[in-house]
Amino acid sequence: MQKINLCSLGDPTNPKTWSGTPFNLCQELQKINCLANTFSSMVTPNKYVRILLGWVMKSYYKNSADVERGFLHRYLNSELVKRLTENSSSNLTLHTGTLDLPFSNFPKKQKHYLYCDSTWNLWSSYSTQMQGYKSRLLKDAEKLEKKSYNQVEHIFTISEYVKENLINHYQINPQKITVVGTGLGVIKPYLGTKDYSNGKILFAAKGRFEDKGGKLVLKAFEMASAINPDMELIIVGQNEYTERLKGKNIKTYGFIPIEELQNIFNECSLFLMPAINEPWGLVYLEALACKMPIIGLNRNSFPEISQNAKYGFGLDDEDPEKLCKILLEAFSDNKKLEEMGKAGQEFCLEKFSWSKTISRIMNVINNQVE
């Protein structure tokens, strides 16, 4: 078995880096003794370099969100990765994103791989924050992404829909792409008995409230609860939610201890996140693992995770009236919700695990290197 370096925009050994994904990959690689080194590719310029960067790029960026997508920041990150990998005991490196790619001069004798949750094309097609990007950066980001995909040895995608976008939009050879899925997040599977008559609906969003469909959730729930007052919407995420989000039959929580969050997942009957822009959504899997049918927009990863609404309900567009009808329909048949919840949990636990993801990645790498 080969040993590989793991690289991320942040510390891969920190469970808070990118929703814990690099951390989970790191843990599994350690378990099978395939981890060589971990690298954080995030360059933190000193005061004087920041001033220089700001002056050079002031006509290029609109806000700080643009900086990491731009060529200069990515160049600095990739140069750092190049130095780190050249001094590593392994010449194989797995990246967990493209923001430390592409290399200006590809390092000789190095093989680089990419674990890919989305593409710039998919992200920019759905994000509610695109007004913050200048047109020049949009064009450059697209070019940099394609160059990154072409430089790496192989791409491991979280989902089939990302693979299709890489093939159809970026013209990447299908032989260069393997779908490896993902594992679960911090929430553990709930194996107890769930009360599907309690009307409790969970919406969880640590950030990007609008991207996660938060406004749509509030409108639809207001309409649905007026007809069925036994419904209760529980919103978990940022501390500001408790001050900003008000409404009848709505409970809001900021950041809470994991034990309390686990209890909320265990108690709720239905998970609602009609995400306008969500590359994957580990929280969908966490909901399924806790026997909650899931509701989402029929875009991005949701049809794949829900198996075309076999384990939940799909919404074709951002229509609060249609979402209201889905909520009312869901709680009109508690037995159906229970059957959906149990089947969804079985599917989730059978298909998704970090050990399976790493096994698929290492099989491809070992076959290529050997």
Structure confidence by residue, pLDDT tens digits, 138-155: 888 899 999 999 999 999
Structure confidence by residue, pLDDT tens digits, 239-256: 776 667 777 899 998 888
Structure confidence by residue, pLDDT tens digits, 163-176: 999 999 999 999 99
pLDDT of residue 78: 93
Helix (H, G, I), strand (E, B) or coil at 251: strand
> Would you give the DSSP letter of residue 297?
E
Q: Which residues contact 149 (CB under 8 A, 6 or more apart)?
A: 98, 114, 155, 166, 170, 172
pLDDT of residue 61: 58
CA angle 199/265/353 to nearest 5° reads 135
pLDDT of residue 280: 85
pLDDT of residue 49: 55
Please check the confidence at residue 205 and state whether its pLDDT lies above 90.
no
H-only helix segments in 300-333: 302-305, 320-330
Please check the confidence at residue 192 and state whether its pLDDT lies above 80.
yes
pLDDT of residue 141: 87
If one counts every other C-beta atom within 10 angstroms of the C-beta of residue 59, the result is 8
| Phi-psi group of 281: left, alpha or beta (phi > 0 → left; psi -120 to 50 → alpha; rest → beta) | left
All domains of the chain in start order, with CATH: 4-183+353-369 (3.40.50.2000), 200-351 (3.40.50.2000)
Give CA–CA dist 77/101, Å, rounded.
7
Write down the mean pLDDT value for the chain.
90
Give CA–CA dist 150/138, Å, rounded.
19
pLDDT of residue 211: 86
Structure confidence by residue, pLDDT tens digits, 252-302: 988 889 999 999 999 999 999 999 888 888 999 999 999 999 999 998 889
Q: Is the dihedral of CA 135, 139, 145, 151 positive or negative?
A: negative
For the chain, first and last CA: distance in Å?
9
pLDDT-derived band at 238 (thresholds 50, 70, 90) equals confident
Q: Which segment, 26-35, 68-77, 272-281, is predicted with the most confidence on average?
A: 26-35
Structure confidence by residue, pLDDT tens digits, 304-351: 999 999 999 999 999 999 999 999 999 999 999 999 999 999 999 999
CA angle 18/273/194 to nearest 5° reads 105
Give CA–CA dist 43/356, Å, rounded.
32
| Phi-psi group of 23: left, alpha or beta (phi > 0 → left; psi -120 to 50 → alpha; rest → beta) | alpha
Give CA–CA dist 244/325, Å, rounded.
26
User: Which residue from 264, 283, 263, 265 is spatially nearest to 273, judged by alpha carbons?
Assistant: 283
> Would you give the DSSP letter of residue 277?
S
Residue count of the chain, please give it: 370
Give CA–CA dist 20/14, Å, rounded.
7
Burial label, 104 (beta-carbon count in 10 A; 0-12, 13-18, 19+): exposed
Sheet holding 35-40, edge to edge: 35-40, 4-8, 92-95, 111-116, 154-157, 177-179
Q: What is the pTM (predicted TM-score) of this model?
A: 0.90
- Please name the residue that has the structure tokens 């700001």: 54
Structure confidence by residue, pLDDT tens digits, 95-147: 999 999 999 999 888 999 999 999 999 988 877 777 767 777 788 889 999 99
